Structures are given as structure tokens and as C-alpha cells.
Copies of this chain bind each other. A is one copy, B any other.
Amino acid sequence: MLCLSLSSFSKMTMESFKTAMLWCVLTCLLYGSSLVEAKVRHYQFDVEYIYKKVDCLDHVVMGINGQFPGPTIRADAGDTLDIAVTNKLFTEGTVIHWHGIRQLETPWADGTASISQCAINPGETFHYRFIVDKAGTYFYHGHFGMQRAAGLYGSLIVDLPKGQKEPFHYDEEFNLLLSDWWHKSAHEQEVGLSSNPLRWIGEPQTLLINGRGQFNCSLGAKFMNTSLPQCNFKGGEECAPQILHVLPNKTYRIRIASTTSLASLNFAISNHKLVVVEVDGNYVQPFEVDDIDIYSGESYSVLLITNQNPNQNYWITAGVRARKPNTTQALTILNYKTISASVYPITPPPVIPLWNDFNRSKTFTKKIFALMGTPQPPKYSHKRILLLNTQNRINGFIKWSINNISLSLPSTPYLGSIKFNLKDVFDQRPPPKTFPQDYDIMNPAKNPNSTTGNGVYMFQKDEVVDVILQNANMLSANSSEIHPWHLHGHDFWVLGYGEGKFKEEDEKMFNLKNPPLRNTAAIFPYGWTALRFKADNPGVWAFHCHIEPHLHMGMGVIFAEGVQHVKRIPSEALTCGLTGKFLISKNNHY
């Protein structure tokens, strides 16, 4: 394990921390601050199921090297990560997606089964090798079936190259990975979601902060109106919350990423303001808030100034928004080291804002602007696609569809198929670029019947593409949900959010001056969100709702751009399905 990956605050004793730091300092001296040299950082990831008391109850969870969440990867911008992922599952394939890393010139390393590579078979090892070109707060997770929901995830932090400084000051940092947890296995969730009648997964049993939650108790029980008992931890419990220990009058960077399967979350620290400085690996104009909304697939850095009474401790919380909650809010403690960590805060935990106060959500989201110096969007786009998000029925099965097509991934990955011009892998007709202009987004579809498909939106290299994500009513009346859409291989500029159906004249209101660069953006109920990106990264990229059950139910599309420019796809990424057949076809006498 590399020196920098030891900086996780989670389990390190002071002694081991000192030893690691000494080694780190010695090692880092070899790379003087003026001589910035990109490194290759090697990791071995064994993916396997482990038993863990994730939320104090015993569960099977997907772990890496025996850990859940997986080990934190830490590198400097410009470094190459060389991660050997070995599948130690029994019958399942696996892949790992490096969420937020653009995979410039390495589209085969994006870690998306059926898209960028063949799933890694049990017993096999796949070498992901890619450059982390941009500092920021990222994470990684499974991208095959619902293995993310099963627990296959971890943090990926990219620091600025040595000698470069962040555009904000902080003394120390913490890293919080937020997730949600079900007692029903992801396997069974998948089956239920693919059944007729649909068996919806329901709300999560527990919210996790760095893989730890409490199901049968609450740390804040005695301060709240709840029937849950008070949690009492002696120390050492796998499900005990990680406490953030701080000194007074310091500035802390808190990195927060959400890899929830379903939940939209609100994050707050009682009595403290948060200054948002980074979103999805991009700097933003700092702004101060009491709490942040964070959707699945998003990451934030916030600055926390420990300027409150140092003789108290404070609540840190994450709770469900945007869906009617049925899950206890996650809690841990901000401990001023001036006092014991076991001293409870004197006030109740922050109350999570009303789940359906969508105006509050929009207000927060619309405060996000790019920091000056961030690349600006091209002034015009070459192409615009409108993507209507609807819930549909296909032969009685409930699905999510985009422009009336529910994504059903092919068994052979797109990247190799397009590169080799194989015609039988996926539907060669491109999916529709828009939807009927008379579609009534405010009501359930008059004809909810839809079809499955796996066609591809093809873009020329360097085309500038506008995507208008259009939200609509679901199958039942008066319901429309938030969907966080995540694009692989790119950041995009978020040009604007609007209410109702997108109209031509809405384009006039696009923010071309300082739109935030993100890789994930929400659409709000009955509204639209406008994105722009440049198709300058040859490869095949998923663009999908980051809610795991929604993607499983077809809520995504596939973008391919300049695939003829892609070079050197490792054969390990191709040895399956029709690309495997193609590669051995000239050599089949044995």
C-alpha cells in the first residue's frame, strides 16, 4: 500500500500513523516539490463476499481485500493507477468503474460491463491502468448488475501534484463516503425489480457513513422522538460510527461522496456552516450553507471552520430527501479534541429538511457555479438531443425508458463491437434524438407501452453536444422523482435547470459564463436540465440515472464518440461474446 493511501483516518493508531508519515516524508523527498514526477501506483484488489456487521446486523457484503468499503485509493494528479482486480466471487463476473475519472485515451478501463469491457470472470484478473489527470474527490464502484448496491465501492482521492496549491486553505481533511443499505441481498433486489409484478426494493434499512450504520438503535435516540433505543458502543464494534476529531479554530476540508443505491441525502453538521468549494472533482465559487443536498453519484468538498464552543461536541448527520423517508438519519459526532469524544452534543441532531421541499433542493443546486478559471463551454453546440425520462410498461413489466426505449445491455461490450464494426451485437438503428412534442409530461403516459433497446447515440469526435434531460410524470398520477444522471468519460457543463417542458426559447437562459463542470446532474420533478459536453474522448460511455434500481430497470443511454480513434484495447477486455468470437475466428482450427 502506498504512503498516501495510509492517510485514511479510520483505523490508524497514532504510532502507525507516525511511522507511515515518516516513510512518506522520506519517500516524498525523492520527488522534490520542484521536480514533479508522475508515478505509477500499483494496487491489488481482490473482490469477494465477506460477512460484516455493516449496520450492527450480520450481512454478506461485497468487499475488497477483506475490507468494506474497499481501500481508499490516493494519488496525485498525473499519476497512473495500475489496479489489478481479481475476481474472487464464485459464479459472478465483476468490473470496477472509476467514477469521475475521464479515462482519457483509456476508454477500455472505464469498468462498465457490456460497455467498455467483458466482465472479469471468477478467478481472473483484469488490469485497469489509467491516468488520474485531475485532482478531486472521486470514488469507485461495481458497474455490473447491482454490485454497487451489494457494497462494491470505495473512495478515490486525487491530490494536486506536489507543489501546487488548492484555491482554498485548509489544515486537515476528512473523507466521508455515504451509502445506503438493504437487508435484502442485491441478488434478490435484482430479481424483484425484474419481476412482474414488480417487487420494489423499498427504502433502505440503514444509511452508512464510511460503511458504518446502526439499524437497531440511534446515537441520537435520547434527543429525539423515536422508539429506537440509544446506541451504546464500547469501542471496536464494526458498526460504530467514525467520529471526526477536530481542534478548535482550524479549517477542515470534508470530502463527501454519495454512492447510494437509491437515497438522495442531506448532510449537515449542527451549529456549523459549510463552505462548498468542490463538486464532482471541479472547483466551484465558494458559497456558505447550513447543509448540502447530495445525490447518488455526486461528490462535494466543503470547508468546516471549527469556530464553535470547543467544550461541546456536535452532530454530523445524513438523512433521506426527495423520497418519503423511512430510514433513520445517519449520525456521528464532530468531536472537539478539547473534550472527550464520548460527550454527547447538548442539542438534538439537525432535522433533515422536508423530503418533498423540492424548491429547497433546487435553491441549493442552483447556487453552484464554476470557479473562475474553469474551462468555459463552447458557445454553440453542434447537436442537441432531448431525453424524455418516463416510467413504462413492457409486456406488463415496469421499466424506465428514455424516449420510450428501456436500455437492455448487450452481452458483448460496445467498445470492441464498434471498433471491429460487428453488426450483430446491438441495434444498429440509433435511438430517437427527441420525443413527440405533444407529449404531456404532467400526466401519466396515455400509452405507457415501451420497448427495450440497446442502440447507441453516435457522435463525431469533437462534436459539441447539448443534452436536455426532460423529466415527466411516472406511471401513477401526480408523481415525478429526482434522477441524478451521470456521464462516463466526461465532465459536462450544467447550462441550466427549468420547470415544465423544455422550450426552444429556454436556450436563451443557458448559463454560458460560469456553468459548473460536473459528471452528475439531477433532474427535478417535472423539470428539465440542460447539459453541454464536447465529444473529445474517443470511447463508448454510459449516461444513466445513478439510482441503481433505475439503471437496472433501463434508465440509461449509450454514447459512442470517435471509436475509430481508440487504440490498444487489451484482449482481456474483449475475450467474450462476439468480440471474443471475432478475435479467434481467423484461427479456429484446433
Q: Interface on A for B, CB 8 Å cutoff? A: 49-51, 60, 90-94, 113-114, 118-119, 121-124, 144-147, 185, 187-188, 190-192, 194-195, 199, 409-411, 419-420, 569, 571-572, 575-577, 580-581, 583-584, 586-588, 590
Contact = CB atoms under 8 A, between A and B. Distances in A.
Contacts of A122: 93, 119, 411
Contacts of A146: 90
B411 A121 contact: yes
Nearest to A121: B576
A187 B190 CA distance: 14
A419 B590 contact: yes
Nearest to A146: B90
Contacts of A90: 145-146, 187, 190, 194
Nearest to A125: B411
Contacts of A410: 123
A145 B583 CA distance: 29
Residue in A49, A90, A194, A571 whose Cβ sees the most chain B Cβ within 10 Å: A90
A430 to B, nearest CB: 21
A191 B49 contact: yes
Contacts of A571: 581, 584, 588
A411 B124 contact: yes
A51 B196 CA distance: 10
B191 A60 contact: yes
A124 to B, nearest CB: 5
Given A60-B191, A185-B187, A571-B581, 13 more contacts: A49-B191, A50-B195, A51-B192, A60-B187, A60-B188, A90-B194, A91-B92, A123-B409, A187-B187, A569-B590, A572-B581, A575-B575, A583-B590
Contact of A119 (B121, B411, B572): B121
Given A121-B411, A580-B580, A147 B91 contact: yes
A90 to B, nearest CB: 4
B577 A121 contact: yes
A51 B575 contact: no
A586 B94 CA distance: 27
User: Which 3 residue pairs are nearest across A and B when measured between Cβ atoms?
Assistant: A123-B411, A91-B145, A90-B145
A172 B51 CA distance: 51
Contacts of A190: 49, 90
A118 B114 CA distance: 18
Contacts of A191: 49-51, 60
A94 B93 contact: no
A154 to B, nearest CB: 19
Nearest to A88: B194
Q: Give the one of A91, A575, A581 with max B CB within 10 A.
A: A91
B590 A587 contact: no
Task: Tell which of A190, A191, A194, A420 has the most Cβ of chain B within 10 Å.
Answer: A191
Contacts of A409: 123
A51 B195 contact: yes
B583 A586 contact: no
Contacts of A569: 590
A122 B576 CA distance: 10
Contacts of A185: 185, 187-188
A180 to B, nearest CB: 20
A92 B51 CA distance: 20
A84 to B, nearest CB: 14
A199 B51 CA distance: 10
Contacts of A588: 571, 583
Contacts of A92: 91-93
A319 B294 CA distance: 55
B590 A420 contact: yes
Contacts of A114: 123
Contacts of A420: 590
Nearest to A569: B590
Nearest to A552: B90
A570 to B, nearest CB: 10
A435 B572 CA distance: 40
Contacts of A49: 187, 190-191
A590 B575 CA distance: 13
Contacts of A584: 571, 575, 580, 583-584, 587
Contacts of A121: 93, 118-119, 121, 411, 576-577
21 contacts: A49-B191, A50-B195, A51-B192, A60-B191, A91-B94, A91-B119, A93-B93, A119-B122, A121-B576, A124-B411, A124-B576, A185-B188, A187-B187, A419-B590, A571-B581, A571-B588, A575-B575, A575-B580, A580-B580, A584-B584, A586-B587
